[in-house]
Chain A
Amino acid sequence: MNHIDDSAELYALGALDDLERRRIDAHVATCAPCARLLGDAELAVTHAIEADPQYEPSLALRSRLAGSLEAMQPKARRAPQAGWIAIAAAFAILALPTGFLARDYMVMHAYIASDQMLMQKMANGSLASATFQPMKPSMPAMSAHVMYAKSGDFYAVVVKHPMRSLQVAYVRPDGTMETIGKLEMQGDMGVAVMPIDHKMLKLALIDGGDVVAEANLAFD
């Protein structure tokens, strides 16, 4: 992605949609000059936030936050394999008919084990999956799936034996597309994990500008 330029002020002001904001989050995580630019814009907007009427939250919010943090942390300390089992179980239920192996679950786990919220999401079963369908019958068979949160804030695409490193794109309702991730090769699998907070009804796999497969997603 290019540097963020004027988008820093739009981000800080709340004038970007979720997808655009996620892209900037991803960029500033690896670009210190843009992170500083965004920080300056956030400071400017915070002056306006401070000038708005000020209120205090209830005391219950502090306890609720503490409880949520505690609920996540002990699980990881006491039973480091519990998350793996939850993921394996979730993906087994969702993807077993398509032939995913235990080794595949481990690849997924390597990507997402550090994310406690995601682990919790998987453990409580708030996930769904969809299969990518090739766009042309002549295309080589490719086992490709997306596992996603029903809340629309997480997507993981797994492709077995991809022809090469494919890109993942969001297909907007008007048919336009936006690249949101790229498969990273793990052995014979390509994986893209995308914590994007947007309910995307259609995803596409892109190879050199061509759509090779599409998946339709459903949300509650």
Chain B
Amino acid sequence: MSSTHADDPTLERAFAARERWAFDEAYARFSGLLYSAAYNVLHAREDAEDCVHDALLRVWNNPSAYSTERGTLRSFLAVCVRNAAISRIRATQTRAGAQRRAGVEPEAEFVEFPDVIEQSRLRTAIAALPDEQREPLLLAYYGYKTHVQIADALATPLGTIKSRIAQAVRKLGHAMQPGAAT
């Protein structure tokens, strides 16, 4: 089958089965979202495109990476690319740290805390979270911290941080569902 009019479940089944047309169609539908997911972390066009390229090829070449049980292909790919971008930025931070320790200045320091929430529904949903859940959520999403780093930064047990982040994400998911009251 080769169709640019396939519905989402058909596309997802075909992608899971690694039918080539599904790769092309997924790129056509989601490239803006995937590139944005990478760019908003890396803030560099070439790095973001490298990241999308490598992440998509890695997924495509791993037959067990995506299954329809995993949920929507769109969110699977978006998170996959964003996680790949976060790995890159962490590696950059590690290299920069090593260079500083060795007395060498890094070429550029481009890690920044972006001006967060643009969209009102997301802003409202995050604002509605208790402080104890909002803070670790923001450190993870916008600060690219691991849960271990967050637990250290907030001087809070790891299990507590995991639980609070999980609750925050679930609440965010419910609040952002189409039709949900905010």
Contact = CB atoms under 8 A, between A and B. Distances in A.
A69 B90 CA distance: 28
Contact of B56 (A11, A42, A65): A65
Interface stretch (A55-63, A126-134, A135-143): A55-63
B32 A48 contact: no
A117 B86 CA distance: 22
Interface stretch (A13-21, A166-174, A176-184, A185-193): A13-21
Interface stretch (A33-41, A84-92, A99-107): A33-41
A55 to B, nearest CB: 5
A66 B56 CA distance: 11
Interface stretch (B1-9, B74-82, B96-104): B74-82
B31 A12 contact: no
How many chain A residues sit at the interface, stated as a range, is 35 or more
Contact of A14 (B36, B63, B86): B86
A77 interface: no
Contacts of B33: 46, 49-50, 54
Contacts, number: 182
Nearest to B80: A42
Interface in B111-135: 117-119, 121-122
A32 B69 CA distance: 6
Interface residues of B, number: 66
Given A49-B78, A51-B117, A58-B49, A44 B31 contact: no
B165 A43 contact: no
B31 A56 contact: yes
Contact of A28 (B24, B70, B168): B70
A39 B32 contact: no
Interface in B38-92: 39-40, 45, 48-49, 52-53, 56-58, 60-65, 67, 69-72, 74-76, 78-79, 82-83, 86-87, 90
A197 B58 CA distance: 11
B40 A13 contact: no
Nearest to B64: A29
A199 to B, nearest CB: 9
B79 A42 contact: yes
A220 interface: no
A52 B71 contact: no
Prevailing SS type, chain A contact patch? helix
A165 B65 CA distance: 26
Contacts of B147: 10, 15-16
A204 B33 CA distance: 41
B157 to A, nearest CB: 13
B70 A57 contact: no
Contacts of B65: 25, 29
B118 to A, nearest CB: 6
A41 B36 contact: no
A45 B169 contact: yes
A52 B36 contact: yes
A7 B173 contact: no
Contacts of A55: 32, 35-36, 39
B74 A46 contact: yes
Contacts of B14: none
A58 B35 CA distance: 9
A117 B61 contact: yes
B166 to A, nearest CB: 4
Interface of A: 5-18, 21, 25, 28-29, 32, 35-36, 38-58, 60-62, 64-66, 68-69, 72, 114-118, 195, 197
6 contacts: A9-B165, A13-B165, A21-B83, A39-B71, A46-B33, A52-B118
